[in-house]
A and B are shown apart, each in its own frame.
Chain A
Amino acid sequence: MSQVNLLPPDILQAQRYRRLTSGVILAGLLALVLVLGFYLLKSNELGGVNDDIEAQNATNASIQASIADKQRFAELQARAQAQQELLSSAFAGEVSFSALLMDFSRVIPSDAYVDTLTLQTADLAAEDPAATGAQAGLVGSITGGGKAVSIDSLSVFLTRLEQVQGWVNPWMTTVTRNAEVNGFDYSMSVDLTDEVVTDRGRGGAVDAAG
């Protein structure tokens, strides 16, 4: 038995269009629901991130409060450093004169002695140390005069003067026979380099405790 579709073709076509339209509307609604779902997801994520920001800001505020509380220690440290620098500037260019005298006593020959001795340093802290008499690398000088038994003694004296660390340019300015003591009068000088400057005079390792 054969089947015969008696529905007119235009009605069939209209039914097909209605079904298609319904499908399109359904697909559109589905897409809208998906987009709205994504929107809700993002809204939720935003809320979470805002909570994290709030928590992070609270943490930061707490750390900042601790920083403000401890700021005085930074100021204390800065003040201590400034004081240390002040002490360094007070000792700038310092030479130990007691050490110079000890060294001098070690190098003078046993058959010679000094009548006068002058030890002086240039003001290294001055803006222009050269203006105060200091030559390049020289920080001061020792000058003196006295008597020696022989010229040999004075020669030994000069040699020994040069062997002291930081003492350079030893020089006998005059050597004169003195019949009264059967010897020689002399006057001498020796320059001092920056090697004689103390550690604290160099601005390093200043011990605040002295």
Chain B
Amino acid sequence: MLRGSRGPLIAGAGALALVLLVVFFLVLPKMGQVSDANDELAAAEGQQGTLESQLAALEQAEAAAPEARETIRDVEQQIPPTADEPGLLLLIKNASTDTGVTLATLTPGTPTLDPATGLSTIPLAVTATGGYFQLTDFLYTIETLPRAAKVVNVALAPAGGEAVTTVTNLLEMQASVVLDTSDQSAGPGSVPGPTEDAAAAAPTEGT
């Protein structure tokens, strides 16, 4: 068969065909596998970079954890999880004692939920008697209480309805103060205890 003048041609064609077959069915698929594997390796290496960034951020968060815990503790002290009316009354009473003013009335209102902030606001009307600077000091003490308190209105008038007074005489102060609690259902008729979800505070049938 390979004899004669066509022998080298047939042998050459056969060898070329065999080599091409091996290239197409073995070498090229293998090269494709190697390329895919290299891509996969590059992706895995890239993922490592991302994961290391995440880990670095978490390690920073871990380092800042004591500070974060302290922040949470402080905020929970300033905005307690319950209305804590006894504590609230004592804070105001202590403020009046420390500053020498005489408390006449304390009128805590019913807490109302502010959906925008998720906090229940407790309005507190305070009537107190004292000198001008005593009352100023009393207001400062309220503004710097360990519990967050915001004064919104103050009215001063002569104490006991005196016709004439000066800034050094006794004045009666009526102040409106606002305090907050993170209890979304607080006050009379509410779900007892801390409530963080307003939906949970809604009365349900059969309970």
* B151 shortest CB reach to chain A, Å: 5
Please give me the residue from chain B that is nearest to A144 by CB atom: B156
In the complex, how many residue pairs between chain A and chain B have their CB atoms under 8 Å apart? 226
Q: How far is the CA of A87 from the CA of B152 in the complex (A)?
A: 17
Contact A35–B34 (Cβ < 8 Å): no
Which residues of B lie under 8 Å from residue A27 when comparing CB positions? 15
Q: Which of A14, A73, A120, A208 contacts B75 (CB 8 A)?
A: A208
Q: Which of A60, A67, A208 has the most CB of B within 10 A?
A: A208
Please give me the residue from chain B that is nearest to A71 by CB atom: B58
Question: What per-residue 1/0 map shows which CB atoms of B71-87 lie under 8 Å from chain A?
Answer: 11011101100000000
Chain B: interface residue total (CB-CB under 8 A) = 84
B190 interface contact, C-beta 8 A: no
Some 11 contacts from A to B, beta carbons below 8 A apart, are A17-B7, A29-B15, A46-B37, A56-B41, A73-B64, A80-B67, A90-B79, A96-B140, A101-B154, A123-B152, A210-B78
Q: Which 5 A-B pairs have the closest CB atoms?
A: A28-B15, A98-B140, A80-B68, A208-B74, A70-B58
B contact residues vs A (CB 8 Å cutoff): 2-5, 7-8, 11-12, 14-16, 18-19, 22-23, 26-27, 30-31, 33-34, 37-38, 40-41, 44-45, 47-48, 51-52, 54-55, 57-59, 61-62, 64-65, 67-72, 74-76, 78-79, 114, 116-119, 132-133, 135-137, 139-140, 143-146, 148, 150-158, 164-167, 175, 180, 182
